[in-house]
Chain A
Amino acid sequence: MKPVATPSIWITVAVLAASAFGAGLLLLHPAAQGQGMPTALFWLCATALGALAVWTLRRVAALHGTRLDAVLTAGLFGLWVLYFWQLLVVAFEVPRVLLPAPSLIAQSLIDNAPKLWGDFTQTVLKAVAAGWVLGCGLGFGVAIAIDRLPFLQRGLLPLASLTSTVPLVAVAPIAVMLFGFDWQSKAAVVVLMTFFPMLISTLAGLQAAGKLERELMHSYAASYGRTLLSLRLPAATPFLFSALKVNATLALIGAIVAEFFGSPTSGLGFRISTEAARMNMPLVWGAIVVAAVTGSVAYALLAQLERRAAFWHPSIRGQ
C-alpha cells in the first residue's frame, strides 16, 4: 500500500458534520416519513448523500491508524448502513414482511421487552449457560485426565477431530427425545457441541510450553502437578480462551437450532421460528438482535478476561 499524505483532520470533521446535517434534513422529507411518493429531487438528494457517505468513509479510513480510528470507520459504516436501510425501506414502501425498517425493529424490541426477556432467560441463562459451563468444564477435565495417558490421547484425538465435520446440531431431536422439551435437552446439545473443541484446544495448549521451560521445571524436581499448575496451564491460556470464545458462539447456535425441533413456549429459537411462520418480522428481527448482542457481548467479555488473565503472553502484549 502506498503511503498516503495525511489528510487534514478538520476537513474530515467538516465533511462528517455536513453529511450528518444532510442526512438529518433528508429524514425530514415527507417521503422518508412514509407520506407521499418520493420525488425526483428526493432521489437526487439521496444519491448525493450516498456519494457523500462513501466519501466520509474514505476520509475516515485514511486517518492514521490508532485503534480508535479502526473502531470509528467500522462504526461509521454501520451507522450509514442503518441510515440507508431506514431511508430506502420507508421511501420504497418495502413490505414489512420483506424487510422492516430499523425503527420498527426498535419499536418491537421495546414493545415486546418482557417476552424477549423471557426468551433470553430460557435460552441463554438456562440452556446456553449451563451447557457451555458443563461442556467446557468436561472438555477441560477430560483433557487434563488423559494428558498422562498417551494411549487414550491417541485414541480420542482422531475421533474428536472427526466430530468437527459432523453436523452436531442434528443430535437435537435425539436430545429432545431423551431429556424432554425443556431447557435440559438444549443444554445437552450445547454440551456435546462445546465438549470437543475444548478437549482439542486444551490438549493442544498443554503441548504449548517450551522444551526449555519444561526442562527447567524438571531440574527443579517439580512434580507433575506443580509443572501443570505453574508452567503448562499458564502456557495453555491462549488456547483455552480461543476455545471458550468459539464455544460461546457455538453454544448459542446449538441452543437456538435445538429449539427449532421443539421447545416450551419461550426461547429465542422458538420465538424466531414461530413468529417467522406468523410473518411478524419485526419481532423476529428483534429476537435476532437479542441473540446477536448476546453473542457479541459474551465474546467481548471473554476477550477482556483473556487480556487480564494472559496479559504476559506475546499474542496479547503485541496488541
Chain B
Amino acid sequence: MATTTDLRQRVLPVAAMALAAVLIWYLGAWVTNAPGAIERVLAPAGIPWNWQDLLKATTGMERPVLPAPHQVALDFWSSLADWPVDSPRNLLYHVAVTGETTLVGFVLGTLLGLVLSVLIVHSRTLDKALLPWIVASQSVPVLAIAPIVLVILGSLGFSGLAPKAVIAMYLSFFPVTVAMVQGLRSPQVIETEMMHTYAASRWQSLWLLRLPAALPFLFPALRVGIAASLVGAMVAELPTGATAGLGARLLTGSYYGNTLAIWSALLMSALLGLALTSLVALAEHLVLRHRRQP
C-alpha cells in the first residue's frame, strides 16, 4: 500500500518532469541544429528533402550545436566501453584523476575546517579577529584565486596533484568551519555547566560533549564541501593546461568544438558529483544511525 502511494507521490511526478526535460531537449536540438543540418547535410545532397529527413539529420550530426540526448548517451557509453580504462579516451580515466584531487582536497579541507573551528571556539581573540574574515570571504569569488595558487605552487616546485588539491581544499574548508563553529557552540548552557561540575577538562568537554553535539551540523556542511571540492578540482584543471581530468576534458572539447565530448564530460561530472554526495550521505546515515530522530 505504502509503495503505491510512494509511486504516485514521488516517482511519477519526477519521471514526468524528467520526460518533459528530455522532450524539451530534443526540441531544442531540432531547432538549433536545423540551419546547420540544412546547409551541410541536406542541401549538398541535392535531392529534395522533407521534414522527416530534417529530423533525422538534426539528431545525427557529427558536430551538432546541441546534441540530442541519445547521441550523448551513445558517446558516453562508447567512451566507457570501447576504450581501455587507462586510455585518455575513456571517461573513467578522467574521473579517477578528478576524483582523486577532489577527495584529497576534501579530506584536507575538512581537517583544516575542524582545526580552525576548534581554535575559534576556544579563543575569543580568534573568534573576533578571524571568523568575520572567514564569513566575509564567502561573499568573494574564491575560485578567481585558482590561477594564482597554481602559479605560486608551481614556482615553488609543486605540480600535478598538490596545487589542484589545494584549490579543492580551500573551497571545501569554508562550509565546514562555519558549520562546526555553530555546531560546537550548540550545547546548552546546562550541559556545559554539567561538564563543569564534573570537573571535565576543556579537552574532555570538547571530546565528550561538543563534538558529538556538532555532528548533525557537520554532515550537511560536508555535503556542501564535497560538491565545492569537485568544482574546485575541475576549475583547477583549466588554467594549468592539464591533459587529464574532467575539467581538462571540457576545455579540450571546447577548443576543438567537439560538443559530444563536452556533453559526455558534463554528464560524467554530474554523476561523479552525485556519487560523492551520496557517499557523504551514506556516511552520515551510518554515523547518526543510533541517534533519536527529533
Residues of A whose CB lies within 8 Å of any CB of B are 1, 54, 57-58, 60-62, 65, 69-71, 73-74, 76-78, 95, 97-99, 151-156, 158-159, 162, 164-167, 169-174, 176-178, 245, 248-249, 252-253, 256-257, 260-262, 268-269, 272-273, 276-277, 279, 281, 284-285, 287-288, 291-292, 295-296, 298-299
Contact = CB atoms under 8 A, between A and B. Distances in A.
Contacts of B152: 98-99
B139 A296 contact: yes
Given A73-B129, A77-B130, A178-B66, A257 B143 contact: yes
Contacts of B12: 155
A169 B262 contact: no
18 contacts: A1-B124, A61-B124, A73-B128, A76-B129, A95-B155, A98-B156, A99-B152, A154-B9, A165-B270, A166-B270, A166-B274, A170-B266, A177-B65, A178-B32, A178-B66, A269-B144, A281-B148, A292-B144
Contact of B150 (A70, A253, A276): A276
Contacts of A99: 152
A169 B235 contact: yes
A295 B139 contact: yes
Nearest to A287: B144
A268 B10 CA distance: 43
Contacts of A57: 125, 129
B228 to A, nearest CB: 9
Given A77-B129, A173-B251, A260-B238, A167 B227 contact: yes
Contacts of B265: 170
A167 B231 contact: yes
Nearest to B125: A61
Interface stretch (B13-21, B82-90, B109-117, B209-217): B13-21
Given A155-B17, A178-B65, A253 B129 contact: no
B102 to A, nearest CB: 10
Given A164-B227, A177-B257, A177-B259, A171 B266 contact: yes
Nearest to A279: B151
B257 A256 contact: no
Contacts of B145: 288
A276 to B, nearest CB: 4
A22 to B, nearest CB: 19
A299 B136 CA distance: 9
B79 interface: no
Contacts of A288: 144-145, 148
Contacts of A295: 139-141
Given A62-B124, A170-B266, A257-B143, A159 B239 contact: no
In this complex, the member of B10, B21, B124, B144 whose beta carbon has the largest number of chain A beta carbons within 10 angstroms is B144
Nearest to B253: A173
B263 interface: yes
Contact of B273 (A151, A166, A174, A256): A166
A315 to B, nearest CB: 15
Contacts, number: 175
B169 to A, nearest CB: 16
Interface residues of B, number: 63
B227 A152 contact: no
B234 to A, nearest CB: 6
B182 to A, nearest CB: 15
Nearest to B268: A170
A107 B225 CA distance: 36
B143 A249 contact: no
A166 B235 CA distance: 13
In this complex, the member of B32, B127, B238, B277 whose beta carbon has the largest number of chain A beta carbons within 10 angstroms is B238
B262 A276 contact: no
A216 B247 CA distance: 54
Contacts of B273: 165-167
B99 to A, nearest CB: 12
Nearest to A255: B141
B128 A74 contact: yes
The 3 closest A-B pairs by CB, nearest first: A155-B13, A173-B254, A155-B17
A170 B250 contact: yes
A249 B259 contact: no
Contact of A77 (B133, B144, B238, B247): B133
Contacts of B129: 57, 61, 73-74, 76-77
Given A97-B155, A162-B274, A178-B32, A291 B144 contact: yes
A156 B147 CA distance: 36
B219 to A, nearest CB: 14
B48 interface: no
B58 to A, nearest CB: 15
Contacts of B13: 151-155
Nearest to B13: A155
Interface in B77-104: none
A151 B16 CA distance: 9
A169 B230 CA distance: 11
Given A61-B128, A74-B128, A174-B259, A273 B239 contact: yes
B138 interface: yes
Given A169-B235, A256-B144, 5 more contacts: A61-B124, A95-B155, A152-B17, A167-B270, A174-B263
Contacts of A256: 141, 143-144
Nearest to B239: A273
In this complex, the member of A1, A154, A156, A170 whose beta carbon has the largest number of chain B beta carbons within 10 angstroms is A170
In this complex, the member of B139, B150, B266 whose beta carbon has the largest number of chain A beta carbons within 10 angstroms is B139
Interface in B219-268: 223, 227, 230-231, 234-235, 238-239, 246-247, 250-251, 253-254, 257, 259, 262-263, 265-266
